[in-house]
Structure 1
Amino acid sequence: MSSFTIFHNPRCSKSRQTLALLEAQGIQPKIVEYLQTPLSKAEIKELVGKLGCNPSEILRSKEAILQEMTLDFSDEEAIIAAMVKHPILIERPIVVHGDKAVVGRPPENIKELF
């Protein structure tokens, strides 16, 4: 089976549940703690492409830091720049397998990748 990667926040219950679901399937994913190792602009663009969505769709709109910003939600480059600067704004967890990715909310979404 080809490799899986999880963009993970160990403090997030959904992220922990998603990781446990992968492990229950016998999958040992590469774990990227994206708050400790922030993603680059190119990496975020690649993730968005694999998810098949717009950057705004993986933006955690309820984060306090976002409320303090003046962000043009129609400007994809500005959204990505905000995610690079403040990785907490990226929805979690995101699981990648090959050229596809899903957001593990709910964790069962990852079954699309099996």
Structure 2
Amino acid sequence: MTDIVIYHNPACGTSRNTLALIRNSGVEPHVVEYLKSPPSRALLVEMIGRAGMAPRDLLRQKGTPYAELGLDDASLTNDALLDAMIEHPVLINRPLVVTPLGVRLCRPSEAVLDILPDAQKGAFAKEDGEQVVDADGRRVTPA
């Protein structure tokens, strides 16, 4: 059984689509509602590093205290940005997915296909109707 973790917000369509794509590969992931159970600072640092990102790359601006906290200040250190994400987990962009093949911020949701060890089991369309996987389990490339 493949061990996959998704840091998920059920109120987010991109997060719901990503979770559904993981399940479409035949895997039931470990779902962490990160607003209720945020990752530790050490785990967050590890995931950011494994994803090849900088803390700023994981910051969510929309619907968060990003502006109020002055996080657009380019002189802020990575430690200061991490402190803000730990204090305000809503600042952590989602969904963040961890698989044996890597860690990825799955925006758009189909980015998860790059790190899923198991093939898609059938067709998949996003909530908005956009076809992402065909009936044979192959990724659909936009025309």
Q: Which residue of 1 aligns with 2:63?
A: 63
Equivalent-residue separation in structure 2 for 1:56 and 1:21 (angstroms): 26
Instruction: Compute the RMSD of aligned alpha carbons.
Output: 1.4
Equivalent-residue separation in structure 2 for 1:61 and 1:49 (angstroms): 20
Q: Spell out, residue by residue over 1:29-56, the C-alpha distance to the aligned partner (whole angstroms, 9 max, x if none).
A: 0001000002211011011011111000
Q: Spell out, residue by residue over 1:7-66, the C-alpha distance to the aligned partner (whole angstroms, 9 max, x if none).
A: 000000100010011111101100010000022110110110111110000101233411
> Secondary structure of the residue that 2:5 maps to in structure 1?
strand
Instruction: For structure 1, list consecutive stretches of 5 or more residues without a partner in the other structure.
Output: none
> Secondary structure of the residue that 2:65 maps to in structure 1?
helix
> Secondary structure of the residue that 2:37 maps to in structure 1?
coil
Q: Specify the code of the residue in structure 1 equivalent to 2:99.
A: H
> When you count helix as a share of all residues, which structure comes out higher?
1
Q: Spell out, residue by residue over 1:51-102, the C-alpha distance to the aligned partner (whole angstroms, 9 max, x if none).
A: 1110000101233411111334441000001000000001100110126111
Q: TM-score, normalised by structure 2?
A: 0.74
Relative contact order (alpha carbons < 8 A, sep ≥ 6): 1 or 2 greater?
Answer: 1
Structure 2 contact 101–115 (Cα < 8 Å) conserved: no
Q: Which moved more, 1:28-37 or 1:54-63?
A: 54-63
Q: Specify the code of the residue in structure 2 equivalent to 1:56.
A: R
Structure 1 contact 50–99 (Cα < 8 Å) conserved: no
Identify the match of residue 108 of structure 1 among 104, 107, 110.
110
Q: Specify the code of the residue in structure 2 equivalent to 1:61.
A: Q
Q: Which moved more, 1:26-35 or 1:61-70?
A: 61-70
Q: TM-score, normalised by structure 1?
A: 0.92
Aligned counterparts, 1:1-114, within 5 A: 1-71=1-71, 72-73=73-74, 74-98=76-100, 100-114=102-116
Instruction: Give the structure with higher Rg (CA).
Output: 2
Equivalent-residue separation in structure 2 for 1:61 and 1:90 (angstroms): 9
Q: Specify the code of the residue in structure 2 equivalent to 1:101.
A: V
Structure 1 contact 15–93 (Cα < 8 Å) conserved: yes
